[in-house]
Amino acid sequence: MENLSTVSRSRRSAPPARRPSSPPTGAAHAARIERLVARCREAGMAVTPQRIAIYRALLEANDHPNPEAIYTRVRSTMPSLSLATIYKTLDALAGLGLVSELPATGNSRRYDANIDLHHHLVCTRCDRVTDYYDPALDRITLPSRPAGFRARRVSVHFHGLCANCANTRAPRRSSRPFRKERHNGQELEGAVRRARS
């Protein structure tokens, strides 16, 4: 039998376990809200009830919501809030370093208030995004500086099926059926993305 170190064995058999996530306490949210207030003041931005409500909704979310989902959650307590305000506030919060926008997950921008170093598992069927922690991934470095690019941090996104979707037989929502198309008189085969309803 082959003698493998713990590190080698874990890399060959299964991905590392997720860090257990416990729900943030009210004290943790209060500290984050205080950080929002401080960052807004440092940047010369007004501290508005809308900004606080939108940030709080994002802090309480575990699903990496899109702006429309945040709008739905916040609008119940602030009926006069507009979707444009949600977008502008999310952009401002990202500029302050309090939230991050997830790159290309589905057809909508998704946001994360967890700014700790972590990675994501992205389900290609239901679009669920789950935080994933792995110290080995945290240490990934770029082999060289591509075109003068200076990376600030590395974030890995695994695309596949979550446990729920892997156990069902439903068709993938983001699948790309192949069909023949014509381009400049030539017949081509290529992936065509179906529009989501």
Residue 42 maps to which CATH number?
A: 1.10.10.10
Six-digit token pair at 138? 């945290």
Is residue 18 in a domain? no
* Residue 162 pLDDT: 92
Give the pLDDT band of residue 50 (cuts 50, 70, 90). very high
Kindly state whether residues 179 and 131 are assigned to the same domain: yes
pLDDT per residue as tens digits for the range 76-134:
999 999 999 999 999 999 999 999 998 766 677 899 998 888 999 999 898 889 999 99
Are 54 and 100 contained in the same domain? yes
pLDDT at res. 100: 92
Q: Are both 97 and 84 inside the same structural domain?
A: yes
5 domain residue, yes or no? no
* Span 132-180, pLDDT tens digits: 999 999 888 776 767 777 777 778 889 999 999 999 875 555 444 433 4
Do 95 and 170 reside in the same domain of the chain? Answer: no
Does some domain include residue 82? yes
Give the count of domains, the chain: 2
In 64-113 the beta strands, taken as DSSP E runs, fall at 100-102, 110-112
pLDDT, residue 86, reads 97
**Are residues 132 and 155 both part of a single domain?**
yes
Range(s) of the domain holding residue 157: 116-143+150-197
Is residue 12 situated within a structural domain? no
Instruction: Look at residue 8 and tell me if it is in a domain.
Output: no
Q: Are residues 48 and 84 in the same domain?
A: yes
**Does residue 184 or residue 145 have the better pLDDT?**
145
pLDDT band with cut points at 50, 70 and 90 for residue 17: very low
186 in a structural domain: yes
If asked whether residues 74 and 122 sit together in one domain, one would say no
Is the same domain home to 196 and 120?
Answer: yes
Q: pLDDT value at position 181?
A: 41
Closest CA relative to residue 155, chosen from 195, 197, 105, 81 = 105
CATH number of the domain bearing residue 167? 3.30.1490.190
Q: Which residue has the tokens 């943790």?
A: 28
Q: Do 110 and 124 lie in a common domain? A: no
In a shared domain, residues 110 and 120: no
4 — phi, psi (to 5°)?
Answer: -110, 145
Task: Over range 40-69, report the average pLDDT.
Answer: 94
Same domain flag for 35 and 75: yes
Q: pTM score, two decimals?
A: 0.68
Which pLDDT score, from 0 to 100, does residue 26 have?
78
Give the pLDDT of residue 3. 37
Same domain, yes or no, for 68 and 139?
no
pLDDT class of 73 with cuts at 50, 70, 90: very high
